[in-house]
Amino acid sequence: MWVAPSGAGFKIRYCYPPGEQVMNMHLSGNLGRFAAVSAGLALALAGCQGKKEAEAPPAAPTLEGQVDIVAWPGYIERGETDAGYDWVTGFEAKTGCKVNVKTAGTSDEMVSLMTQGGYDLVTASGDASIRLIRGNTVQPVDVTRVPSYATVDPRLQEATWHFVDGKHYGVPYQWGPNVLMYNSTAFKEAPTSWSVVFEPAQLSDGKPNKGRIQAYDGAIYIADAAVYLKARNPQLGITDPYALSEAQYAAVLDVLRQQHPLVHRYWHDANVQVQDFTNEGVVASGSWPFQVNTLAANGQPVASVVPSEGATGWADTTMMSANAAHPNCAYEWLEWSISPKVQGDVAAWFGSNPAVPAACTGNELLGPEGCKTNGFENFEQIWFWRTPEAACAGGECVPYSRWSTDYVAIMGGR
């Protein structure tokens, strides 16, 4: 609609879509009476102009040329260890975003690095993700900018360790169990219980386990002892290894103190553990499939098992720093990271399970049985790492701050 003078009044023309009739209306009388409708006419005029000029599409995000990621060892490979495993080079060629990776051996290290700043993304496990969210260290992710998010395993899309207060704080990456890795020459038969690393024992090779086992250098390992004690001493009433009452927690710490004299090393560097199993006579430890695969590829007599008591595990989420310097490259990586090809390649290399079920088929490196071998069907049997909090389903539980302090003391022999 537009307005033009017409004698003592004004003539109003109404805008219609092309091809429709144009209608005139004549207003007469005092000009002051026209002021009452002037604002409405202005809005109508703006509407007419809108029909003439289509809005320009939004500009594509400008990519910043790099993305800096904190990741677990083996999670982001560019073919330097094995040329067949490279999911970085293609991304860099497609986007022009150079990938810089800082590896971390524990969740505590990841939280520390992200808090210090300087990184865009982190592949956080559940015992780090809630701390990162509560500390405002990471930001919500706009999943509309990650078109493939709908292909993520429905069991992970809104998992409690990254979906908080109705917001997505990351994109699921990989998951798997913490396995019991053992030397097959020291064990004539596969061990069936975590007792071989928690209690003094004579192994089938005729030697004691003292000085030949390892434990994880991270407070979340308290949950491994809780899983073991849950089955060994059901009278304690442990229902959740991350939600322990004071009495349950005290009993679990006793198990870990009993373990201390047996421990060769509290490990956190996956490559150092590989060396220890190769050269230092270590024969049993909680571990990741990554070390099992590496040792087996090197011809070492190792195998792994999930014992009868069950196992803890990790479901890792790629999360974005609240102060990400390269957010557009980061969003490009989030989308790239859940493509079936990348997901399958990572699972084959690490011995993990893809967050995208479609990756289980048609991947040359993973093979047709790869997901089955890596335990894809065991999702419901894994106690995924989660940050212990004081407020829990059972009432008051021991929070992670206590876990952290007490586990440092245990590693020190106290």
In order, the DSSP letters of 337-373 are HTSHHHHHHHHHHHT-EESSGGGGSS-TTT-TTHHHH
Top-confidence residue, 322 or 6: 322
CA pseudo-torsion sign 104, 271, 315, 107? negative
At residue 395, the pLDDT reads 81
CA 149 to each of CA 90, 158, 331, 372: distance values in angstroms, whole numbers, following the listed order? 20, 11, 12, 23
With a pLDDT cut of 70, the percent of the chain lying above it is 86
Residue 391: both structure tokens together? 């407020």
Confidence of residue 60 (pLDDT cuts 50, 70, 90): confident
Over the stretch 118-168, which tens digit does the pLDDT of each residue have? 999 999 999 999 999 999 999 999 999 999 999 999 999 999 999 999 999
Domains of the chain, CATH where assigned: 2-52 (no CATH), 66-176+313-379 (3.40.190.10), 180-305+389-411 (3.40.190.10)
pLDDT at 15 over 80: no
Dump strand ranges (E) for 133-195.
138-139, 163-164, 167-168, 171-177, 179-183
DSSP character at residue 202? B
With a pLDDT cut of 90, the percent of the chain lying above it is 81
Over the stretch 161-174, which tens digit does the pLDDT of each residue have? 999 999 999 999 99
Residue 124: both structure tokens together? 């956080």
- Residue 36 CB neighbours (<10 A): 8
pTM: 0.79
Pairwise CA distance, residues 317 & 83, whole Å: 26
User: Looking at residues 341-363, what average pLDDT do you find?
Assistant: 97
At residue 381, the pLDDT reads 86
| Gyration radius of the chain over CA positions | 30
Residue 193: both structure tokens together? 């219980």
Residue 59: both structure tokens together? 């500009």
pLDDT at 242 over 50: yes
Over the stretch 382-408, which tens digit does the pLDDT of each residue have? 999 999 999 887 689 999 999 999 999
Over the stretch 281-310, which tens digit does the pLDDT of each residue have? 999 999 999 899 899 999 999 999 999 999
- What is the overall mean pLDDT for the chain? 89
Grouping H, G, I as helix, E, B as strand and the rest as coil, residue 59 is coil
pLDDT at 40 over 90: no
Residue type, 359: A
pLDDT at 233 over 90: yes
Grouping H, G, I as helix, E, B as strand and the rest as coil, residue 172 is strand
For tokens 């009739």, the residue is: 21
Q: Over the range 216-243, which residues count as b (16 or more CB within 10 Å of their CB) and which as e?
A: bbbbbbbbbbbbbbbebeeebebebbbb
At residue 342, the pLDDT reads 98
Confidence of residue 378 (pLDDT cuts 50, 70, 90): confident
Pairwise CA distance, residues 361 & 351, whole Å: 15
pLDDT at 2 over 80: no
CA pseudo-torsion sign 394, 397, 400, 406? negative
